[in-house]
């Protein structure tokens, strides 16, 4: 995941703390969850079954560790490169 600005981190922390993180992948993303392959709904609206992709794109997902970065104290441009995977 690319490095977030401090403003983006603050926004993401608000979302995590308000329980807005995705129930399926645990991150925050703007579009439909990229992890969800298929959902089945009961007629009453409840989700009765969710099928997940084994591999899915994490691009654009903000994880808790991105929002709560313990390395914030030491701002280092180099640490953006080792987040992939």
Among 1, 4, 15, 22, binds Zn ion (CB under 5 A): 22
Among 12, 28, 33, 62, binds Zn ion (CB under 5 A): 33
CA angle 25, 19, 57 (to 5 degrees): 20
24 binds Zn ion (CB under 5 A): yes
Q: Cβ closer to Zn ion: 4 or 25?
A: 25
Find all residues with CB under 8 Å of 68, minimum gap 6, and list them: 9, 13, 16
Residues that bind Zn ion (CB under 5 A): 22, 24-25, 33
């Amino acid at each position: 995941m690319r490095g977030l600005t401090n403003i983006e981190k603050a926004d993401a922390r608000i979302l995590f703390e308000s329980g807005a993180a995705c129930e399926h992948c645990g991150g925050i993303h703007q579009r439909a969850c990229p992890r969800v392959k298929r959902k089945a709904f009961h007629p009453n609206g409840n989700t009765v079954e969710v099928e997940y992709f084994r591999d899915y794109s994490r691009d654009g997902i903000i994880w808790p560790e991105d929002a709560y970065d313990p390395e914030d104290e030491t701002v280092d441009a180099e640490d953006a490169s080792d987040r992939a995977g």
